[in-house]
Structures are given as C-alpha cells and as structure tokens.
Amino acid sequence: MIRTSRRLADGREILYFDREPTSRDAVDLRDLPAVATRSQLRYDALSGEWVVVASHRQTRTFLPPADECPLDPSRPGRPTEVPESDYQVVVFENRFPSLSTGVDRDVPTEAPGNPLAELRPGFGRAEVVLFTSDHDRVFADLGADRARLVVDVWAERTAELSALDGVEQVFCFENHGEEIGVTLSHPHGQIYAYPFVTPRVEKVLGSVQRHRAATGGDLFAEVVAAEAAGPRVVVANEHWTAFVPAAARWPYEVQFFPLRKVPDLPALGDAERDAFVEVYLDVLARFARRFDTPMPYIASWNQAPVRHRDDWWLHLQLFSLRRAPGKLKYLAGSESGMGAFITDTNPEDVAEQLRAVVVQ
C-alpha cells in the first residue's frame, strides 16, 4: 500500500492510498474559507457520558444531486473534495468535523448554570474514507482486492490516530443507505478519533471485567466459542466467524469475530485480513439480496480503547433497521427513551434466512 499526503485549499489533509505507484499531484484550486471548529464536549453527570456539541455541522452538505456530489473525482469546471481525476481509496479530514485537532480551545470549564456539566474542547479527528471513485458502486461490489485495500487503510488510520496525544478510542464505520441517514450517496465511510471511551465500549469492558472477577474466565472467548458452534452462524472460515447474536437488538444484525483474540485492526495479519474480506463480502451480498431491495445498514468496528487493549477482542457489528419488505424498524419509546430494545425478529430465524440467500 502506497500513501500520498497532500493538502486541500483550506489546509485540511487528504491522503491517497494506492496499490501501485501513482502520481498524485493535482492541486485544489477552490476558494475555500478556513475550517473553524467550535465543537465542545459536555459531560452528563447523571449518565456519566460525554456528549459532543457541534452546532456548526448544521450547514453541511445534504443530499446533493448525483452530478454535484462533492466526493466524486474532480473534473474540468467541477472541482470537488478530491482534486485528482481518479483514485482508489482516499481519506481526508471532514470539512464539517464533529471533532478536530484544530478545535477552538477557548471554552468555559462548565455549561452555563450547571457546574456539574463539565466542558472540554471537542478535540479529536473526524475523517472521511472514500472506498472508490465510482459514484454508483457499493461496498458489496468492490471486489476482494479493493475491499482488502480498505481494510489496510482502516488499520493504518487506526494506528496513526491512536498515537495522537489525547485520543482514547478510534472508531471506523460505514453508514449505507438513505434510510440510515446517509446524506451523501457516494460509497464512503468515516473514522472518529474520540478523546474519551465511548459508552458502548465502556459497558462491554465492564461486563468483561466483572465476568473475569467472578469466574476467572474471558467473556469474549466464551461468547465466540459458543456462537461459533451454535445455530446462528451465517458464514465462517478458518479465521473468522459471522453470526447473528443471541440477543440481537436490530431486525438484521451480524457480528464478525476473528477466531484469534486481537485488540484492533492493526493487529490482524495478512491472512486474517484476506479472510475477513471473504466473509464480509459474503454477508453484505446476503444483506443486498435478502429482500427485493438492498438493506440499508451500519457497519461498526468495535476496537480496543487506546489504554485497555489487553481486555478487548476486535469485532464488527453489521446491522440493518429493515425488518420486512417496505418496513423499517424505528426506535420507539422503549428504545429511544430507556435504551431497552424490543426486537421484531427472532435471531435464529434471521440466521436461517441469511444462510438461505443465494449469493452467486
């Protein structure tokens, strides 16, 4: 993998990733204002969670026509976020970042009128990952070679962002489909470098640590062993297993675990990365063919926090809010208000349905 670093007109970094040497000398000639980020972190003392306040993102690009997509390659008279006329995989700093290393540090220490609501600058980094220059392709159709390049890019960015002073967790993800909330249809994902450990990871870590204290066992290892031999496996190979979790929250949800315990993407070997691509593209194809239209989905990498690597087992969550043809699951009062999920599908049935999908 060859990495080339350049700068956009407003000073943001753009990174080109190629498999073979490629000249990347196009210059961004747009007249762009400097990026000004005033994100804040506000602490919710009751929940013990940090909330990012990023009101400047209200002006971000929203559902532009396909011929005005800012993620396509540039062409004469139509400059975009990518100055080159073609590319393989590209990463750049978000123009409307929720977190930034260049954030305004001059913030009060507490929210107005509440000394318990601690405030901090919204430090971190928010990056956009473009999987292909082809506007009309989707991840499921990238092919093994390009998908593997994306995995290598995720790993490279995870390693670099984890090394930033103040970053506590790196999150790679893809939102796919307008029903999920995607505002730009070009095939892309994002990476967040958080200055805190996210609520989900904190909760899972707490469960792992309590289980070890009570039994001496590794909760991750026991879950992987049980599910890999159980009725909810969708597809597996010598390095990975992909299964519908026993207590799935979403109508269609699959978790991908490597069979070797590793904390994050950089720790995966070449054979494990190739094997992941094999199972991931297989399951994405099943998601695309399960109903008469492809399912919208979120693909969410659960990586180790920077300071808690020994307790973690890397895994990916892939889930969709599609519950039936033409029907979506909306978060209702129980889910949105109390965080108590009520699922519309049976996990064993979902696994059987996905196994039955013909993918070739």
Looking at the annotation, which residues are catalytic? 188
Which residue shows structure tokens 């693909």?
Answer: 299
* Residue closest to 52 by CA, chosen among 146, 217, 171, 213: 171
Q: Which residues is 256 bridged to in the sheet?
A: 242, 316
Long-range contacts of 63-68 (CB under 8 A, 24+ apart): 63/178, 63/183, 63/184, 63/185, 64/184, 66/135, 66/185
| Spatial separation of the C-alpha atoms in residues 255 and 119, rounded to whole Å | 35
Q: What would the 3-class secondary structure string for the chain be?
A: CEEEEEECCCCCEEEEEECCCCCCCCCCCCCCCCCCCCCEEEEECCCCEEEEECHHHHHCCCCCCHHHCCCCECECCECCCECCCCCCEEEEECCCCCCCCCCCCCCCCEECCEEEEEEEECCCEEEEEECCCCCCCCHHHCCHHHHHHHHHHHHHHHHHHHCCCCCCEEEEEEEECHHHCCCCCCCEEEEEEECCCCHHHHHHHHHHHHHHHHHCCCHHHHHHHHHHCCCCEEEECCCEEEECCCCCCCCEEEEEEECCCCCCHHHCCHHHHHHHHHHHHHHHHHHHHCCCCCCCEEEEEECCCCCCCCCCCCEEEEEECEEECCEECCCCHHHHHHCCCCCCCCHHHHHHHHHHCCCC
Element (H, E) at 121: strand 114-121
